[in-house]
Amino acid sequence: MNGRADFREPNAEVPRPIPIIGADYIPTEEERRMFAECNDESFWFRSVPLAATSMLITQGLISKGILSSHPRFGSIPKLIFACIMGYFAGKLSYVRTCQEKFKNLENSPLGEALRSGQTRRSSPPGQYSQKSKYDSNVSGQSSFVTSPAADSIEKEMLPHYEPIPFSASMNESTPTGISDHIAQVKVNKYGDTWDE
């Protein structure tokens, strides 16, 4: 023996550190291929169908008179808007599918970060969790433990705001300096006007 006691079980798996993926991260070749595949699939299988469907529905609503067409440009502005919204809705709807594809990659730091992020979110409250270096830490305490003591320290550090009582009365709820008084203007039979 080397003089130190080893308390780990012989078959215990040593957890790998969570990779930090920042703006300077350079994806691997396999990750680049997966990005291109996700981009193509989201375009052809989600964005194009949703854009076309939203344009057809918009044109149908315009032709039935439910939506009005522009007096100068006709239905073109509404169709372009529907196309753009359908395109982005298609891209956003494919995000979860693309994340799952990255999670299934074997030797991918990005896939590992996504997998570890999923387990971190699903852990019950009060457990240890590692935060990103970009997370804000208001209280200045350790960001690894969630406890009632840490919550009370945070509450003491934050400013306390008293609720403002609500009043349904018009006189109490209007700011000072603004009045609802409307000057009465009188007009005689000759068209002369004066204030009261």
Helices and strands counted in the chain (H then E): 7, 2
Of the candidate ranges 70-84, 86-100, 150-164, the one whose mean pLDDT is the lowest:
150-164
What average pLDDT is seen over the chain?
A: 75
Task: Count CA atoms closer than 13 A to 95's CA, side-chain side.
Answer: 6
**For the chain, how many residues are written?**
196
Looking at the chain, the whole-number percentage of residues with pLDDT higher than 70 is 54
In contact, 30 and 108? CB cutoff 8 Å: yes
The per-residue pLDDT for range 159-172, each reduced to its tens digit, is: 666 666 665 555 55
Residue (of 11, 2, 88) closest to 43 by Cα position = 88
Give pLDDT, residue 3: 57
Looking at the chain, the whole-number percentage of residues with pLDDT higher than 90 is 39
Of the candidate ranges 7-16, 66-75, 138-147, the one whose mean pLDDT is the lowest:
138-147
Q: How far apart are CA 170 and CA 179, in angstroms?
A: 11
Please say if the pLDDT value at position 190 is more than 50.
yes
Give pLDDT, residue 116: 84
Q: Count CB-CB contacts under 10 A for residue 50.
A: 21
Residue (of 181, 157, 155) closest to 170 by Cα position = 181
